[in-house]
Structure 1
Amino acid sequence: MDRLTEMEAFATVVDQGGFTDAAKKMGISKSAVSKHVSALEARLGARLLNRTTRRVSPTEIGLAYYDRARRVLNDAGEADALVTSMQTAPSGLLRISVATDFGMNHLSPVLGAFLGAYPDITVNMVLNNRYVELISEGFDMAVRIGEMEDSTLRAHKLTETTRRMIASPGYFAQYGRPEKIDDLNDHKLLHYSNQANSAVWKLTAPSGEKRQVRTAGWLTVNDGQSLLNACIGGLGIAYLPSFLYAEAKRSGLVEEAIPDLPHETLGIYAVYPQGHFTQPKVRAFVDFLSKTFADKGPDSW
């Protein structure tokens, strides 16, 4: 007899509390279930069930065997589901969390191409700048920027971005250009209030020394695009990612404040809950993003 079928018959008897209900659950006769369990006990040389006219219960050895057998059966079921899912066209609702700046500037413009390629998927993209608990808040995945601190999630690196201090040519004409980090104390620095510890810029000097510069002051904004607009308008110096300012820099609307400083590079990741297999809709979107951003970053946006 098939070993996996024997295990399934035994585990189902334990789950259902008897041979009759186990037979109904498996869709076979009561005698067939009994033969499978008897064959298993004979092969193992041990009694796994206590049988009386009123009830069936596992022996001590049977209970220990049940725990292992149930794990094997669950793994087998997941293996079957994996094969089925990999052959199934991606479909269903895909809930995505993404930082506002990146979502507006780089995800929104490409969603049409994704939905056109996968018409059975619907997307609910939530733009916010807070850390979202994917599972408890019902998200399938998120796009995150920076170091990945949550080891319970899978992280697929899509590309990179740099962060640089920028301001408009008009600002530099009026207030001068800083030559070193200490010179920033005499400039108008724009504060991005939606990032943790954003009142402090962590910079690296040409020598490799790590420096911190406090920025809270003249203007505080909770949106990166608005900060960029403030820079273009000559209101001060901001510390922004290249995916946000790259086009403005190419157009000559902003320039780097201290070009000689080492660049800070941040990874951009697709993150999703760990599991034995990835949902087809999530896998499809991660693959799509990987191809979309393959030629992007860290400065080429």
Structure 2
Amino acid sequence: MDRLSEMEAFATVVDQGGFTDAARKLGVSKSAVSKHVSSLEARLGARLLNRTTRRVSPTEIGLAYYDRARRVLNDAGEADALVTSMQSAPSGLLRISVATDFGVNRLSPVLGAFLSEFPDITVNMVLNNRYVELISEGFDMAVRIGDLEDSTLRARKLTTTAQSMIASPDYFRKYGRPQKIDDLTEHKLLHYSNQSGGNVWKVTAPSGEKRQIRTAGWLSVNDGQSLLNAAISGLGIAYLPAFLYADAMARGLVEDAIPDLPAETLDIYAVYPPGRFTQPKVRAFMDFLVHEFGQKGPTDW
């Protein structure tokens, strides 16, 4: 006789308080439930239930066995649900948090293709540059750029983007081009206003030394596209990721301020809550992102 069936019959008798209600719950005969429980007691060599004409209750041993058996049955149910879920078509609401610059400039233009491929998924995309607590704030996943903070989240690398100091040819004609890192202090710099460390640029010198450039900027704004527009207009030098400036650079609207510096790169990740399996809608979206962006970068955008 199947061990799991014996466990299920016994646990249902305890849950329902009797054989008749247990049989009704399981959709089998009362005699079948009784045979399963008797077989279980015989196999274990212990009495698990106290039987009277009015009620059925677990013995002390039976109560201890019930606690473990119920865990096993719950795990078995989750295993069945997992297989069903993984074989089902991705569907449902997908709530994602995305860094603003990447969301506006790179993700928004391709969302239509994803929704066309998976019509049973609806997307709620929230754009912000703060650290979002995925689980407590109800997000299924997030797209983050740069070093990941230590956490229990799982991560999948999507691609890499270069990061460079750029300005317009008009700016360089008017103010000259910096030849080395120290020259930046004499130039008009354009900063992100939402950086936790303030107006600091972290760059690598030709020697490999990591340098921090701290200087007040001519303009600070919390949006990368606005910084790019300012750089194109000749207002100063901006330090931006390639997925923002690549098109403008290809059109000659901006140039690398100090081309001889070692390349700086930022990794782009999809992060999602830990778990024993990934929801089909999340897995489908991550696969889509890898397909869309995996062959791009660091400068090819």
Q: Report the TM-score when normalising by structure 1.
A: 0.91
* Alignment match, 2:248: 248
**Which digits, 9 at most, give the CA deviation of each residue in 1:140-168, with x for residues without a partner?**
22111122225322211111112111111
Report how far residue 54 of structure 1 moved.
5.7
- The residue aligned with 2:5 is 5
More divergent stretch after superposition (231-240 vs 194-203): 194-203
When residues 111 and 50 of structure 1 are mapped into structure 2, their CA distance, relative to the original with a 3 A threshold, is: same
Hey, what's the Cα distance between the residues in 2 that align with 1:97 and 1:136?
Answer: 13
Aligned to 1:86: 86
Instruction: Give the direction of change, closer, same or farther, for the CA distance of 1:37–1:218 in structure 2 (3 Å limit).
Output: same
Distance 2:149 2:60 in 1: 43
Give the superposition deviation at 1:45. Answer: 2.4
Alpha-carbon shift at residue 224 of structure 1 (Å): 0.4
Residue of structure 1 equivalent to 2:200: 200
**1:190–1:215 Cα contact (<8 Å) kept:** no
Residues 17, 160 of structure 1: alpha-carbon distance in 2 compared, 3 angstrom cutoff: farther
Corresponding residue for 2:48? 48
Could you tell me how far 1:291 is from its partner in structure 2?
A: 0.9
* Matched residue SS, 2:266: strand
Q: Rate the CA distance shift 1:245–1:43 in 2: closer, same or farther, 3 A.
A: same
Report matched runs for 1:74-113 at 5 Å: 74-113=74-113
Q: 2:228 and 2:16 mapped to 1: Cα distance?
A: 64
| CA apart distance, 1:107 | 0.9
The code of the aligned residue for 1:34 comes to S
Aligned equivalent of 1:137: 137
Name the stretch that deviates more: 43-52 or 243-252: 43-52
2:177 aligned with 1:177: yes
Please state if 1:121 is matched with 2:121. yes
Evaluate the alpha carbon distance shift between residue 149 and residue 29 of structure 1 in structure 2; reply closer, same or farther with a 3 A threshold.
farther
Measured in 2, the distance between the counterparts of 1:33 and 1:119 equals: 45
The aligned residue for residue 38 of structure 2 is 38
Deviations 1:257-278, CA, capped at 9 Å, x for gaps: 2222222222211222222222
Q: CA deviation at 1:72?
A: 2.5
Gaps of 5+ in 1: none
Q: Secondary structure at the match of 2:201?
A: strand
Within-5 A mapping of 1:122-271: 122-271=122-271
Amino acid at match of 1:42: A
Code of the residue aligned with 2:27 in structure 1: it is G
- Could you tell me how far apart the structure 2 residues matched to 1:173 and 1:43 are? 90
How far apart are 1:16 and its partner, in Å? 4.0
The number of equivalent residue pairs is 301
Once the two structures are overlaid, the 10-residue window that deviates more, 44-53 or 267-276, is 44-53
Instruction: Determine if contact 1:165/1:240 at 8 Å carries over to the other structure.
Output: yes
Q: Distance in 1 between matches of 2:178 and 2:43?
A: 82
Gaps (5+ residues) in structure 2? none
Residue type of the alignment partner of 1:159: T
Q: Which amino acid aligns with 1:13?
A: V
Query: Percent sequence identity over matched residues?
Result: 83
Larger displacement relative to structure 2 (18-27 or 288-297): 18-27
Conservation of the 8 A alpha-carbon contact between 1:163 and 1:264: yes
Say if 1:95 and 1:125, in contact at 8 Å, map to a contact too: yes
How many angstroms apart in 2 are the aligned matches of 1:150 and 1:50? 52
Shift of residue 138 of structure 1?
A: 2.1
From the superposition, tell whether residues 60 and 217 of structure 1 become closer, same or farther in structure 2 (CA, over 3 Å): farther
The farther-off stretch of 192-201 and 279-288 is 192-201
Supply the distance in 2 between the matched residues of 1:68 and 1:261 (Cα, whole angstroms): 63
* 1: CA distance, partners of 2:83 / 2:177: 60
1:29 aligned onto 2:35: no
Deviation per CA, 1:69-122: give whole Å up to 9, x if none.
333222222221122123222222222211111111111111111111112222
Secondary structure of the equivalent of 1:234? coil
| Mapped partners of 2:15, 2:151: distance in 1 | 34
1:56: Cα distance to partner? 4.5
The offset of 1:246, in angstroms, is: 0.9
Deviating more after overlay: 265-274 vs 145-154: 145-154
Instruction: Give the 3 Å change call, closer, same or farther, for CA 172–21 of structure 1 in structure 2.
Output: farther
Structure 2 counterpart of 1:170, which letter? D
Instruction: Answer with 158-167 or 192-201: which moved more.
Output: 192-201
CA distance in 2, matches of 1:182, 1:60: 78
SS at match of 1:34: helix
Write the distance in 2 (CA, Å) between the matches of 1:45 and 1:125: 58
